Structure 1
Amino acid sequence: MVPESSAAAARAAVLARIRQGLARPAALPPRPDFAAPVHPPLPADLAVAFAESFVRVGGVFYYCTSVAHFIGQLGAYLREQQIGRLFAWEPALQNMLYQGQVPFVADETEFLPHADASLTTCEALVARTGSLLVAPATPSGRRLSVYPDQHLVLARPGQVVAEIGDALRLLQARYGAALPSMASLTTGPSRTADIEKTLVLGAHGPRQLVLFLLDDDDAEGAWEAESEDVN
C-alpha cells in the first residue's frame, strides 16, 4: 500500500505540471491557406499524367500513332483476349473498323447473350484520377459502356483535361442547355469487395476497361470522316 504522504506528493506534482501547462498554452496551429490547391500540381503533359493514373486504377492503355496503328493493336488485342463479338454502334467507329477489316456487330443482334466487348468514344479523360467521362449522347447510348464484359474506348489526347471539374465544363460547353440525360465517370474496371472483403471484377459493369489513345493529328481526320455503308 502506498503511504498517504507519497500519494499526496504525487498528486501535488501532477497538479503542478497542469498549472505550468495552463500558464503556458500551446501555440495555435498555423492558419490554413484555403486558397492553396488541395492536390499537388500535375505534370505539364496531361496525356502522360492520364495514362499513369489510368493504368494505376487497373485500366489497359494503348497509345496509337495512326489509325493503321490503332487497327493493328485493336486486332491483336481481340485475338489475344479471344473476343468473338465486338459491338460498335457509332458511325465513325464503324467506318474505321470497316476500312481496317475488323469484324464488328453494328446492331443489337445477339447483344444480350453475347456482349463480349464494345468499342465507344467518350466525352473527356481526367488526368488527375484516370477517369473517363461517358455520356449517352452518341449512338452507343448507355448500354455499350456498361453491359459488355470488356469496354474498349477510342479517344484522343485533345480530350485530356486536368480535373473532374474541367471535364464537366467541357461537357457543358459542348452541349449547352441540351445536356445528355446522364453522365458517368468510369475509373478503372468495375469492382467490388462488399462480400467478405473479396475483390470481384465485373460486378456492376465491364470486367476490363481498355483505352486506345489515338494521336490528335490522325484522330482529327478519323473523327470527321463520314460514315459509309458497312453492310
Structure 2
Amino acid sequence: MPLRPDFVAPVHPPLSSPDPVVAFAESFQRVGGEFYYCETLEHLAKQIAGFRQRQQVGAPYVWEPDLQAVLRAAGVAFRADEQDFIAQADLSLTSCEALVARTGSVLVSAATASGRRLSIYPDQHLVLARPSQVVSEIGEALRVIQSRYGSQMPSMVSLTSGPSRTADIEKTLVLGAHGPRRIALFLLEEGENNGE
C-alpha cells in the first residue's frame, strides 16, 4: 500500500536561519547577488562609494524622490535626470517592494518613479531596502503587493533572483543577457532617514 502524503507538513524545509534577514542575505549571495548591510547613512555612503570604485562606474541614476532624499542625507552623488540615459546607464539604484528570504529574490514593480527601465536596462543594478521588507516566502511577497495596490496592480512586477544570466547558447553561461550583469543590495537599518 502506498504511503499517504502528509498534507499538513510544510512544503519547504525551515529557512537557513531563524532570522529572515540573515536567511535572505545567505540566499541572495548564493544566487550571485552582492549584499551590504548598512547600519547608518554614513556606512551606506562608504559602501556605495566602495562599490563604485571597485566597479569603476559613475554615479547611479536614481529617479525615486524618497531614495534621492536618503542619498542626499547620506551625501551620496546620484543622477536624477534622464539625459544620456541610454548611452550612460551603467548603474542604477532603485527601491523594491519586498525581499524573499527563501530564494534571495528581490521583488520590484513599475509602480515607483523608477518605472520599468531602472531595474532592467543598466548593466549594474543597486537596490536600497530595509529589514522590514524581508518576508520568508514568495507568496508573502505577492501578498505585500496585493495589499499595497489592491485592484490597481502595477503594470510590471518582477521577481529578480541574482544577476541576469543564460546558458542557452552552447551551454556557456553568459551574465547580463536579458538584464543587469550585477545586482547589489544595500540593506539600510530602520530609522535611518526614511526620506523625510
Shared fold (TM-score greater than 0.5)? yes
1:97 equivalent to 2:71? Answer yes
SS in 2 for 1:104: coil
**Inter-partner Cα distance in structure 1 for 2:59 and 2:194:** 23
**Inter-partner Cα distance in structure 2 for 1:181 and 1:145:** 14
Between stretches 159-168 and 64-73, larger displacement belongs to 64-73
Residue-by-residue CA offset, 1:114-159 (whole Å, 9 max, x unaligned)? 1110000000000000000100111100100000000000001100
SS in 1 for 2:180: coil
Match of 1:35 in 2: 8
Cα shift at 1:79: 1.4
Between stretches 100-109 and 38-47, larger displacement belongs to 100-109
State the one-letter code of the partner of 1:159: Q
1:223 equivalent to 2:171? Answer no
Query: Match for 1:106 among 80, 88, 91?
Result: 80
Cα shift at 1:68: 1.4
**Inter-partner Cα distance in structure 2 for 1:69 and 1:80:** 16
Residue-by-residue CA offset, 1:193-214 (whole Å, 9 max, x unaligned)? 0000000000000000000011
**Inter-partner Cα distance in structure 2 for 1:105 and 1:195:** 36
Q: Higher helix proportion, which one? A: 1
Match of 1:75 in 2: 49
Using the size of structure 2 for normalisation, the TM-score is: 0.95
Between stretches 91-100 and 121-130, larger displacement belongs to 91-100
1:122 equivalent to 2:96? Answer yes
Q: Among the aligned pairs, what percent are the same residue?
A: 64
**Inter-partner Cα distance in structure 2 for 1:98 and 1:36:** 48
SS in 2 for 1:29: coil
State the one-letter code of the partner of 2:194: W
Query: Match for 1:65 among 21, 27, 39?
Result: 39
Residue-by-residue CA offset, 1:89-136 (whole Å, 9 max, x unaligned)? 011221232333332210111100111100000000000000001001
Between stretches 190-199 and 178-187, larger displacement belongs to 178-187
Can you give the 5+ residue segments of structure 2 that lack an aligned partner in the other structure? Answer: none
SS in 2 for 1:107: coil
Match of 1:214 in 2: 188
Greater relative contact order structure (CA < 8 Å, 6+ sep):
2
RMSD of Structure 2 on Structure 1 (CA): 1.2
State the one-letter code of the partner of 1:99: A
